[in-house]
Each structure stands twice: as structure tokens, then as C-alpha cells.
């Protein structure tokens, strides 16, 4: 009996050539849903519309096309079961040997809406495929008897199987089934995530599903003995970035780039001046704002030029020629910016090994962050809060000048992205000292002040958590710090406030802490 293939594709890439070869080289008969059938007929390929094959018209504006016993019976029938074969015969159903389906572009639709700054729930809902997943899952379940393809990159592999063996091997069919279940799981996860945000406005669900599409096999993980693979979970983020030049991205590059993106995202509002951040091992070693991008970068570099060597640079403006020239003066691993001017790209080629990434959307990040633990994982809403100075409490007799308040806010933006316990000293919108990841806050204070050196006089100090004692306040004052911003919340806040008053410091409480472990 002539083999029967069902083709129903949203993405028409390669479908005409594939269908023609199925018919001409391997004598398949084709049935197809409306849109795909029209494309094949226009190309002169013989095809029967699904509605003609089933005898049931498409209804509900195309919402119901393939949900029919002649379709699903042909997909799910077990060829080695006598009762199944009898059912096919009694109901005039042909077994289907190949199912080729790809799904409505749900993720692309919501990504496009996000890029355009609109939210159209009704349009997104219409891109939730029903018949497609049903056919894919049915065919994948019955992989022992037929082949299911869910992406254009599988077409040539399937034709090679036919050419070599006359039919697809069981191992090939099983691999295709696995890909289907991975894809439909990711599809449903994307829908659940979208609805949780747009309808319930609660990103954490009782049942949390995570799936991704393999983007790139990485050379190794954090260390050479660890294998690693990069998965993308949607149509936004780093998978959409353009790499202008440089070596292949590594696991550590991507981790550091994301940390850099998160920092520079704090400086992307229209009123923000040009800003630059330089990171090493997930911690900022230099962050600065200035009237020009090159000045901001140079200030961030000078804040800790030793650590900046081999660092990751994030910029909140497209790279210009002057900044590109400055970037070539030292060894850097990666640079990320929302754009790059042609003359700047030419200059950067002098350092061809540096990875230059263009990510126009620096702001959009994950709504949920995850950590794995033995036997499970932890999920939390991303730390997107940033309490503005207008909501702070100034708890000391000394009050900040407008300039000090702006500097305090700059320091608060930066300390949010430093590993806890975190202390940042800043002046002139530039980090002067960073104390990160210490087992006690006093240690972080000492490191930040020591690194700041002579820049501590009149500077600002920010702490990601409260001061449990007044010792850090006194140490800061002795070094010449003029103002402190911290979340407050300690049972001994009064001691720290009293010390600040005694020493003439400004102290602001934000009421929000930013631990980053």
C-alpha cells in the first residue's frame, strides 16, 4: 500500500522541497491542512486537504481541522494489533506513516508583543495550538509504527533514512518522539509562564515546569572537567543577541554576561547618563556614569584596573569610536552593548578575540530565578525591586544634599548586584571600593574602604544588608565617609543611627535589602 503522510506546518521552511521528494522519490500520498495544502498545491504537488479526507469541514474559524477519528485513528493504530487493524478497516481509515507538524508561533507572538511594548492577550491566546500538539503527541506515543517530525531541520535526516534503509529505523523514530515530547513540554511551559504573568500576575505556580531548547553545546562548564550545554527558554534574551566578533562563548562568559546585563539594566532609563560596568567573576569591579560613554568606561576601568584585566564590560549606549579605541587598550573577555557604530566595529577588530555582543534589549530578564538543591530546586521571583530615594527614610540629623542623594542612589543600584555581604564605596558616580562575599559585614567594609584609598573622604557607602552593630558606621566615619545608605531592619538600628548622628554622617534607610548569594 502507498504510504501516507500528514503535513500540517506553521513554519513552511523547506516544506515544498520535502513534500516533492516524498512524492517523487518515495511515492508517498499527502494529506494536509488548509494553509499547508494551499502552499503545496501552488507548487504543483498533489495533496488532499484534510477536510476532504475526513469528510468534515474546518470549523470555528480553523480551530478544528484535524481532530477527527480518520486522522487520530490513522496515527495511533498499532499495526501489529489485529483489533486495531480491524478498526481501521471497519471505519475506512488508512494508517498514517509520517506526521509532519510544527506549532503555532506562540513564543514568537508574545516576544513580538513585548518588543513593541503591547500586550494583546486575545492575540496570544489564538496562537495556542490545539490540533498540533495532539497530533504530535499521538504520533510520538506510537513511534513504534510511524515517524513524527516537528522541525524543518529533521526533513533531510528523514529522507536519508528512507534512502538508506527504505524506512526510518526504530532508533530514529524514537529520537524523533523524544524531541516531540521535549518540544510540547516547552510549548506548554511557555504558555503557563505567560498566563501566570499576564492573568494571575504571580510567576510562581504550585507546579513549576522548566524546559528549554538546546542553543549551543559549550566547551565545558565552570571547570574543564564539567560538561555544559546552553538552553534557551524563549525568543528573548541572549539567544537573540548578535555576536560581532570573538571566540565562541563559554559557560563562564554567559554567566558573567548575564550579571553584567543585570547591572547595566539599572542605568537604562531615559534620564540616565552614559554608564559602564566592568565585572569579574560575577562581581562588579568598576561601575561609572559620566557625560560621555568613553569617560564612563575609563572611570569604571580606573576604579580597579587590576581586576578589570580580562573582565566583562557592559555599556548602556551603542559603542562609539572613542569608546572602542579605549576598549582595545587592555585584554577583555567580552563586551555587551545595545548597539555598535560601524566605525567602532572596525576599531574593535584590532582585538579580534574579544567577544563583542549586541543585545538591544538590556532590560528584559528572567521573571523567576532558580537554584538547584539535592532532590529539587528553589524558585523565587527575580529581584527587580529598586526603592527610589523618595521612599527612603533619612533617619539622621544631617540631611543629604541633592547631589549626595543622587550619589546614594547610584551606590544603591550598584550594591544590589554585589555578592553578599556587600559594601560599595562611590564618589562622582564611580565605584571607589567594592567589598564582596565576605563572611561578615565588617570584613566587607574594610575591604571596600581599603580599596577606595584616598577617595573615601566625602564619599558614599552602601550596604546590601543592615548593620547589626555600630562598628561599621564608626569605621566608615573614620575613613571620611559622608553618607551611608542601607536597608535597616536590625533590632539595633538605633545604635547605628546614634553613631551616625554622633559622627555627623547622613544615613538613609531604604526598607529593602538586596542579598545576593
Q: What residues are annotated to the active site?
A: 141, 281
Around Cβ 8, how many Cβ atoms within 10 Å? Answer: 26
Q: Do 494 and 466 touch, CB atoms closer than 8 A?
A: no
The C-alpha cell of 372 is what? 538547584
Residues 6+ apart with CB under 8 A from 343: 320, 321, 324
Owner of C-alpha cell 564590560: 313
Owner of C-alpha cell 556614569: 289
What region does 44 belong to: left with phi over 0, alpha with psi -120 to 50, or beta? left
Three-point CA angle 79, 81, 84, nearest 5°: 80
Q: Report the candidate in 507, 500, 393 with the shortest Cα–Cα distance to residue 460.
A: 507
DSSP state of 13: T
Q: Do 467 and 486 touch, CB atoms closer than 8 A?
A: yes
Three-point CA angle 308, 267, 482, nearest 5°: 75
Q: Do 189 and 51 touch, CB atoms closer than 8 A?
A: no
Distance CA 381, CA 186 (A): 20
Distance CA 101, CA 146 (A): 14
The C-alpha cell of 179 is what? 524531541
Around Cβ 494, how many Cβ atoms within 10 Å? Answer: 11
Q: Report the candidate in 71, 68, 78, 65 with the shortest Cα–Cα distance to residue 94.
A: 71
Amino acid at each position: 500500500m502507498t504510504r501516507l503522510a500528514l503535513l500540517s506546518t506553521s513554519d513552511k521552511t523547506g516544506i515544498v522541497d520535502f513534500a516533492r521528494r516524498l512524492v517523487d522519490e518515495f511515492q508517498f500520498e499527502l494529506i494536509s491542512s488548509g494553509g499547508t495544502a494551499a502552499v503545496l498545491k501552488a507548487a504543483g504537488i498533489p495533496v488532499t486537504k484534510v477536510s476532504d479526507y475526513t469528510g468534515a469541514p474546518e470549523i470555528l474559524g480553523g480551530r478544528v481541522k484535524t481532530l477527527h477519528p480518520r486522522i487520530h485513528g490513522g496515527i495511533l493504530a498499532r499495526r501489529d494489533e489485529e483489533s486495531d487493524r480491524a478498526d481501521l478497516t471497519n471505519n475506512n481509515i488508512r494508517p498514517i506513516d509520517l506526521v509532519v507538524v510544527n506549532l503555532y508561533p506562540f513564543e514568537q507572538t508574545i516576544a513580538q508583543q513585548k518588543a513593541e511594548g503591547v500586550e494583546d492577550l486575545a492575540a496570544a491566546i489564538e496562537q495556542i495550538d490545539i490540533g498540533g500538539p495532539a497530533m504530535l503527541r499521538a504520533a510520538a506515543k506510537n513511534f513504534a509504527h510511524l515517524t513524527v517530525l516537528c522541525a524543518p531541520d529533521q526533513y533531510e535526516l528523514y529522507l536519508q533514512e528512507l534512502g538508506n534503509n527504505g524506512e526510518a529505523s526504530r532508533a530514529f523514530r524514537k529520537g524523533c518522539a523524544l524531541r516531540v515530547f521535549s518540544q510540547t513540554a516547552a510549548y506548554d511551559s511557555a504558555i503557563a509562564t505567560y498566563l501566570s504573568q499576564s492573568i494571575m500576575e504571580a510567576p510562581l505556580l504550585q507546579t513549576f515546569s522548566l524546559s528549554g531548547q538546546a542553543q549551543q553545546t559549550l566547551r565545558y562548564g565552570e571547570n574543564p572537567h564539567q560538561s555544559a550545554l546552553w538552553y534557551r527558554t524563549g525568543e528573548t534574551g541572549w539567544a537573540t543577541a548578535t555576536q560581532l566578533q570573538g571566540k565562541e562563548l563559554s559557560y563562564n562568559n554567559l554567566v558573567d554576561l548575564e550579571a553584567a546585563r543585570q547591572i547595566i539594566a539599572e542605568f537604562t532609563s531615559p534620564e540616565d547618563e552614559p554608564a559602564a560596568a566592568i565585572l569579574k567573576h560575577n562581581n562588579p569591579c568598576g561601575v561609572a556614569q559620566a557625560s560621555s560613554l568613553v569617560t564612563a568606561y575609563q572611570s569604571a576601568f580606573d576604579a580597579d584596573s587590576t581586576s578589570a584585566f580580562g573582565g566583562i564590560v557592559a555599556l548602556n549606549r551603542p559603542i562609539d569610536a572613542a569608546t572602542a579605541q579605549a576598549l582595545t587598550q587592555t585584554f577583555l573577555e567580552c563586551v555587551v552593548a545595545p548597539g555598535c557604530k560601524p566605525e567602532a566595529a572596525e576599531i574593535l577588530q584590532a582585538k579580534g578575540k574579544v567577544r563583542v555582543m549586541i543585545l538591544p534589549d538590556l532590560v528584559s530578564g528572567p521573571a523567576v530565578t532558580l537554584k538547584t538543591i539535592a532532590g529539587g530546586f528553589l524558585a523565587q521571583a527575580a529581584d527587580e525591586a529598586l526603592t527610589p530615594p523618595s521612599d527612603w527614610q533619612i533617619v539622621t540629623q544631617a540631611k543629604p544634599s541633592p547631589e549626595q542623594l543622587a550619589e546614594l542612589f547610584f551606590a544603591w543600584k550598584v550594591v544590589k548586584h554585589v555578592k553578599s555581604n556587600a559594601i560599595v564605596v562611590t564618589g562622582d558616580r564611580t565605584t571607589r571600593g567594592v567589598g564582596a562575599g565576605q563572611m561578615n559585614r565588617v570584613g566587607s567594609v574594610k575591604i571596600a574602604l581599603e580599596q577606595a584609598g584616598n577617595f573615601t573622604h566625602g564619599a558614599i557607602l552602601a550596604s546590601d544588608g543592615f548593620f547589626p552593630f555600630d562598628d561599621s558606621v564608626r569605621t566608615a566615619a573614620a575613613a571620611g565617609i559622608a553618607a551611608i545608605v542601607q536597608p535597616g531592619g536590625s533590632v539595633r538600628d538605633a545604635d547605628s543611627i546614634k553613631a551616625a548622628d554622633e559622627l555627623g554622617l547622613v544615613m538613609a534607610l531604604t526598607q529593602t535589602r538586596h542579598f545576593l548569594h
